[in-house]
Structure 1
Amino acid sequence: MAKQRSNQSSRILWAAFAALLLQNLVIPVVSFASFEEQKNYYTPDPHTGSPPTGSSTPPYHATPTHGSKPPANCGNPPKGGQHHDPTPASPSGGYYPHPPSTPTPTPSTPSTPTIVTPPTTPIIDPGTPSTPATPTPLPPFTCNYWRTHPGLIWGLFGWWGTVGGAFGVASAPGLGTNMNLLQALSNQHTDGLGQLYREGTASLLNSMVSKRFSYSTTQVKNNFATALSSDEAAASQAQLFKLANEGQLKPRA
């Protein structure tokens, strides 16, 4: 019986010893695992400068575990008083490179296109066709032409030229000698004297403007004065003057 108790007490002691040993072994393993986890996922010290060029593993400060000694410069800024923002660490333990700065594109204002107007066909105004000038007729002229161009008469005798003064007669039967030459050309008498005044005045004017007229100025005056003797003589001479005024008699040489 005593032997059984002794064996039971030995087993209890060995179990307690094993449990104590196992506890001492588990604590370092857990501490080591926690340290490794903090090593891979560390928090960079904001006061630590940029990692040196060419180094694959940047320096870091791991969070100290229980019983570990803190870093020598913990809480003290680096020399020079400069603070650098640490580059965030990648999950593998390295640093991400700073992305290159991309310039902001500035939109350019499109230039206003130049509109070229096509040349237009010039409009040529032909204008109003000019009326060809009426050729000036050549004498001899009829009594109607002289009557409708009183300016020509005034140019030769003036406004106050009379039948008596133009033909050189002091008296004349019928119409008299005081009427002017325009009135003599415009009279409407159908008798021989009326005809003689119209055609005789036109013949006198034609003889003064044309050297080729059938009668000279002197011949016109003399024939006019002779024809005043009777109405029949006046009518006969008036017919000859009419033919000469129309250019139907042979021109004077």
Structure 2
Amino acid sequence: MNKVLVLALIFVFSLLGFDHSTIAASRQLIIIKKANNQLAYYENDKLVKVFPVATGKEASYTPEGKFKVVTKIMNRPYYKGNIKGGDPKNPLGKRWLGINARNTPGNTYAIHGNNDSNSIGKYISAGCIRMYNNDIQWLYEKVRMNTVVLFASSNKPFASIAAQNGYKVSGPESVPVQATLSTLKKGSSGPQVVELQKRLTKLGFNTKGIDGEFGKNTEVAVKTFQKTKKLTADGVVGPKTKKALGIK
């Protein structure tokens, strides 16, 4: 009887234009605390991850309130600087989750990547939320259109901010921001890459910059280091290369 009812509901929803897959879709919520530049991601009212972010240079630059994700764009061009999408110099990074803040259609305010990982955690943007490129790619794959995003300047716990907006959530206030990656390779980004670049540079292997982005120059430096240590020169920083470098 229950199966018949479910099938009947799916049939009715399909006639009305609903995708039956959304019936079982998980509830999603994003909370951004400007007070300490952190972003919390929830599924089914439970905290999944907390990420470090960068927000507006001035308090008024990054809006506050309740908004929704209304656009999702991969490798969005930086039109102001005439920089193509996917270009390492693009300050928007690799993913764009546009938000309808201040009556905009998702083309002005967003949660996006970056071209300077050292900016994460700072008050530095023109109003958008910057994340490490690895983090925004992870979030981009999870988040659906119309996911609610709460912006707050309060330093209260995430659960309190959620409750003030009518959401009841659970889970610890902090979940490890980034699990330690077992390997680092071209395309990786974040604080672990910064540590790698600093270590290589200190040892005399020039990465031509410490920006937290594992690009061609870092790969060349890794391969050169691996050759001197008689390791497989594949440019991938796995357990053996990490041990030789003296990093975790």
Shorter-chain TM-score: which interval?
Answer: under 0.3
Taking CA–CA contacts closer than 8 Å with sequence separation of 6 or more, which of the two structures ends up with the larger relative contact order? 2
TM-score, length-scaled by structure 1: 0.18
Q: Which has the higher helix share?
A: 1
Q: Which has the higher strand share?
A: 2
TM-score, length-scaled by structure 2: 0.18
The higher radius of gyration belongs to 1
